[in-house]
A and B are shown apart, each in its own frame.
Chain A
Amino acid sequence: MTRALDEIKIGGLGSSRKRVEDNRFIRGRGNYVDDIVLPGMLHMEILRSPMAHARINSIDTSKAWEIPGVRLVLTGEMMATRNLAWMPTLSYDTQAVLATDKVRFQGQEVACVIADDPYIAKDGCEAITVDYEPLPVIVNPNQAMADGAPLIRDDKENQHDNVIYDWEVGDKEGTDRAFAQADLVSKLELHYPRSHPSPIECCGSIADFNRATSKLTIYLTSQAPHLHRAAIALVAELPEHMIRIVSPDIGGGFGNKVPVYPGYVVSILASILLERPVKWIEDKTGNLISTGYARDMYLHGEMALRKDGKILAMRMHADSDHGAFFSDAQPSKFKIGLLHSTFACYDVPAAHLTARGVYTNKAPGGVAYRCSFRVTEAMFFQERMMQAAADDLGMDQAEFRRRNFVRDDDFPHRTPFGFLTDSGQYGKCLDVGLEAIGYSDFLKRKEEAKKQGRLLGIGISAMTEPLGAGNSREYDILGVKMFDAAELRVHLTGKAILRTGAKTQGQGHETTWAQIVAHELGLPAEDIVVEEGDTDTAPYGMGTYASRSTPVAGAAVAMVARKVRAKARKLAAHLLEVSEEDIDWELGRFYVRSSPEHGVTIQECAMAAYSNMPDGMEPGLENVAYYDPPNLTWPFGCYIATVEVDPQTGVWDVLNVVAVDDCGVRINPMIVEGQIMGGLTEAYAMSSMQFITFDAQGNCVGSNYMDYLLPTAWEAPGYELHEVVTPSPHHPIGAKGVGECATVGGPAAFVNAVIDAIKDTGVRNIDMPLLPDRVYEALTQRHDVSGAPPVKTDD
C-alpha cells in the first residue's frame, strides 16, 4: 500500500496551480524599480538626439546648470575623462554611452541632467543647446553597402565601410551539387520588419553608491542580474564583490532588458560623483526609440526540389540591419544568432547560409525579442519558404511538410547546419492541428466561398527551435559560459527557500520552480518560497531570456532537489534504523522496502537535519547545483490559422487559430497555455500591425504607442490549444522551453493564411505587417508587396 502524496494536490508537476506572484500584482502591490524610493534620491533625465546622423560641433550646458535644483549635467566629453564615453557591447563592438564625436541614430543619448525631481531634470535637458552638423543618413542595408556610402563608424580604426561581418555556415559545394540535380528551384525574398520587445515597464535603474562602505547597489530592470554585475564591474572598473544588483519585480522583458544601456552607466557614475542615489526611469519613447530593437532582416532563399516534393537543399542569404552599434545579445560563436537553426524539423540533405551584418543610422539592439537569438527570423523564413515551395510544386501544403519532416525514429538528427535535434513527433502534431482546424472541410468551404467572391485562406506554420542555451561547450556570452545554478535550503519545519540565477519577469518562476521542488521532494509547493534577482543572495546564473529558464535553471532546480533528497535519504536511514540501501522513496516519504508501513516523511527528515542527525553528519539540509545542459531542448510547435480577406478593402479577419505545442513535460499547464496565448498575440501583432520604420532622414516612426501598435483583447483572435508530449531525453524532468514557440512560429501561420487566400492573383509575398492597404495593393495590382511600409512619401 502506497502512501505517496497526490502530486497534483501538493502542486507538483502537471498542476495548474494559480500563480503565487499574481496575488501582489493584481493588488497593485508589486515592487518595481520605479516604486523604490531611497533617502536623498535624485532623478536623471536623458537628452536625446533629434538627428539620425550628425557631427556634434558643440554642447552648451551652462543654462542647465543655472536651473535651481539641477545637481549635475553630464556630457560625452565629461564621460570621456573617466574613460566612460564608450562601453563594450555583448557582441564585441563598442557603443557610445553619451555621444562625443557624432550622433549615429535618432534618440541617441547626448547628455544627462541629474536634479532634485524629474521635472527639473527635464527642464535642464531642454536648456541644453547642441550644435549639430547634419550628415547623410543611412536607413537600410542597401544604402549601407552602396559605393561611397558615408562611414557611420568612423570612430573605429580599420573600419572602412559599414559592414560588420560576413559570416557563413553549411556545405557550399554539397548544396551546389544538390541544386544541379533539382527538378525545380523555388525562390523567396522577404523582409522581417524591425519590431520592439516593448515591455510595459520601460528600462530604469537606481544607482546607490555608498562612499563609507564602498558598496554600489543598483536596482535594475534586468533579465540577467549576474551578467549585468559582471559587465558593470568591467565597464566601471569596480570590484565585483562591491556591486550588488537587485532586480525587483520586472514588468516584462522579452529580451529588451538583457543589454547594458547608457542610462544605467550614467546613473552609476552620477551616484558615485554625487554620493547620492540616482534614479533613471526611461519614458516610453525613450524605450522604443533607443533600446534593443528586434529583427530588421532581409532574407533571400532558394530551395532545390525534386518533383515528388522532396527537399534536396537550401541556399540562404541574410542582410541584417544592426543599427549604429553591433550590440546583439547573443552567443559569441554565432554572428547572426541561431539563424542557422532554420529547417531543423525537415530532412534537408544540404544547406548553405551566408549572412552579412551592416551598420545603419538606427538604434542598436538586435535583441532576441521573445526568441532564442534570431530564431524567429529563421522559422518565419522557413515556413514562408515551405508554403511558396508547396505552391510552386502544386502540392498540398500539409502533405509537402509531412513528406519532409524528420521522422520520429530518426533521432538524434543532425540538421543541415549542424545542430543535433533529439526528439519529436512532428507528423503527429501536424495531424492533431489539421484535425482540430477541420482541414479538408475548410478546403471545401474555401472553394465554395470563392464562387461567391469571398476569399478564405489557411496557413500552416510548423517548427522545432533550439531553446535553452548552453551547453557551455558551444554557448557563451563574451566568453562567459551559459549555465545556471539553483540553491535550496530546507528549514527545520520542512518549509524551504529556493533561489536561482534566473530572473522571472512574468514567466511565473515563483510558482513553477516550487512545483519542480514539490515533484522531487514531496514538499507542498506552497511551502517553498522562490527568490531571484539579488546578486548578493542568488546563486550564479545567466538570466532569463531565449526560453532558457526551464531548460537550464529549471533543470538546476530539479538537480539541487535531488541532492537534498540524497541527504534526506541518509537522515531517513538513520531515523528508521536501517541502511540506506534498504529504503525506497515515494512522493514525500522514505520507507523500509521490506515493511512499507515503516517510513518517515520528508518533513521529518528536515527536522532531523537540525535536531537529530547521525554522528559525523554535517547538520542542515541545503545544497546548490550548477547545471550545464548536455544539449539544447527542441520543442515543436504547429500553428494553423484561417482567415477571410475582404476583397474591397484588404482588411483580413482571423477566423480560427489552432496551436499544437509539444514542449515535453508541462510543469504548470495553465502557465504554459498563458505563454502560448501571449506568444500568438505577439505573432498576430507582428503579422498584422506592428513595425518600426524610418523616413529618409532617419526619423523613427513607431516611437510611441500611437504608432507602435500593441493589440488589445479586442482585436486579438481566439485560440484553440492542443498538446502533444515528447519528453526531452536529457532534461531531468523531461521539460523543454516553450516561452517563445508561438511568437517564433506564429507569424508565418497568419501570413501564409492571407497569401493562401489571395494566391489566385499570383501573389507570393507581402512583407509584414500585412496592413490592409498592402493586401489591397497585392490583390488589385497582382504583385508582391515588399519592404518596410512607406513613410510620408508625399512630403
Chain B
Amino acid sequence: MYPSRFRYEAPRSIDEAVALLHQGAGEAKVLAGGQSLVPLLKLRFAAPELLVDINSLPGLDYHRVDADGTIRVGALCRHADLERSTILATRQPTMAAAARVIADPIVRNRGTLVGSLCHADPQGDWASVVTALGGYVTAQGSSGRRNIPIAQFVTGPFQNALAHDEVAVEAVIPAPKGTVAGGYLKLERRVGDFATAGAAVALEMSGAVVTRAGIALTGVGGSTIDAADAAHALVGGPLTADSIGRAADLAAQAAQPRTDHRGSADYKRHIVRTFVERILTRVAQPTERAA
C-alpha cells in the first residue's frame, strides 16, 4: 500500500489553504481526518499532486449551539467529539444516534463530519443526517464565503459542489422551531462496516403535531436519498400508526437499492421501511422527544 508521490503542505490559515488550493488548479486535495482520503491514496485510486492538510488550521475543531438553537460543526470537529457531545445528547437526537454508529472508535477519533459530507459517499451516514435536518455547508474560497444547502452540496456519488479552491469550513443545522425528535438506524454487518441500509429521521413538533419532517436514506442509492414524500406525509398531523405506516412505505419506495453481497434490493428496501417505522413508532411516545 504505497501511494504515488505527492507534495504536502500544512497551511496555518484558511486564506493560506485557499491560496494553495488555487495554485493547485484542481490537482490539490484537502486532507482532513484522512479516513477516506488516505485509503484512496494508498490504493492509488487518488493521486493528487498536492495535499493541503487543514489539521493545523486554528479554531475549526468546534461544535456549538447558537442562542437560537442553530448547531454549527467546524471542519476539524471529529466524529468522536460528536459521539461524546452533551449538546447533541440533549438537543439533537438524530445526530447523537448517528455519531455512535459511524465506523469504529479508531476512525471516529480522526474522521470529521465535514469531511464526510465532502467525501459524499452514498454510504456515508452524515450526509443522510444533515439532509434529514435540512442543513447546509459553509465554504470559503478565493471569491469569499458562501452557504450551500446540503441538497445542492452533494452532487453525486463522491462528488460535491465545492470549487477546486474552496474549503468547507463548517456544517450548519438550522435552529428548530418546536420540539425536536428523531433517530438514526443503520444495519451493518459488523462494527466499522458501512451501512447495508440506514435511515435518518428528523422531526420538529408542536405538541403532538409534526411541523417539520426530514427523512433521508443511506446506502440504498447512487447517492444519499432525500425521502421528501415520506417526510411530507407526516407534516401537519400527529404520529399515528397510519401516518407512520404511510411514511415508512413512501421511504421504502424512495430507496433505489441494488442487490449486492450485503443483501438483496428487496431486503434493503424492507429494512428502510422497518427502520423508518421503528424510529417513528418510538418517537411517537412523548417521553422520547428532546426539549
Contact = CB atoms under 8 A, between A and B. Distances in A.
Interface of A: 45, 118-119, 121-123, 126, 283-284, 648-651, 689, 693, 701, 706-707, 709-712, 714-715, 771-773, 776-777, 789-795
B260 A792 contact: yes
B270 A119 contact: no
A158 B126 CA distance: 59
B5 A712 contact: no
Interface string B171-191: 000000000000000010111
Contacts of B191: 712, 714-715
Given A706-B194, A715-B191, A772-B187, A122 B2 contact: yes
Interface stretch (B63-71, B198-206, B261-269): B261-269
B271 A649 contact: yes
B4 interface: yes
Given A122-B2, A776-B267, A707 B261 contact: yes
Contact of A791 (B260, B265, B270): B260
A689 B258 contact: no
Most chain B CB inside 10 Å of its own CB: which residue of A689, A773, A795: A773
B12 interface: no
Contacts, number: 75
A715 B101 CA distance: 13
A283 B271 CA distance: 35
A216 B95 CA distance: 59
A549 B49 CA distance: 52
Interface residues of B, number: 28
B141 to A, nearest CB: 32
B49 to A, nearest CB: 15
A794 B2 contact: no
Contact of A709 (B4, B193, B260): B193
Main secondary structure of the interface of B (DSSP, over half): loop
Q: Which 3 A-B pairs have the closest CB atoms?
A: A773-B263, A773-B267, A714-B191
Nearest to B273: A648
B44 interface: yes
B23 interface: no
Interface of B: 1-5, 44, 104, 187, 189-194, 196, 258-265, 267-268, 270-271, 274
Contacts of A45: 2
Contacts of A776: 267, 270
A776 B259 CA distance: 15
A121 B196 CA distance: 37
Contacts of B2: 45, 118-119, 121-122
Contacts of A712: 104, 190-192
Most chain A CB inside 10 Å of its own CB: which residue of B2, B258, B261, B263: B261
A709 B267 CA distance: 20
A711 B190 contact: yes
A355 B187 CA distance: 39
Nearest to A121: B2
B261 A789 contact: yes
A792 B257 CA distance: 11
A721 B258 CA distance: 42
A689 B260 contact: no
Contacts of B187: 649, 651, 772
Contacts of A284: 1
A773 B190 contact: no
Given A119-B2, A649-B187, A126 B271 contact: no
Contacts of A771: 189, 262-263
Contact of A715 (B4, B5, B190, B261): B190
Contacts of B270: 776
Most chain A CB inside 10 Å of its own CB: which residue of B1, B263, B270: B263
Contacts of B5: 119, 123
Contacts of B196: 772-773
A649 B272 CA distance: 10
A793 to B, nearest CB: 5
A123 B44 CA distance: 10
9 contacts: A118-B2, A126-B44, A689-B189, A711-B190, A712-B190, A715-B191, A772-B263, A790-B259, A794-B260
A190 B264 CA distance: 21
A777 B193 contact: no
B258 to A, nearest CB: 5
A469 to B, nearest CB: 34
B58 to A, nearest CB: 32
Contacts of B263: 771-773
B46 to A, nearest CB: 14
A284 B42 CA distance: 12
Nearest to A122: B2
B258 A701 contact: no
Contacts of A709: 189-190, 193
Contacts of A648: 274
B47 to A, nearest CB: 10
Nearest to B192: A712
Nearest to B260: A792
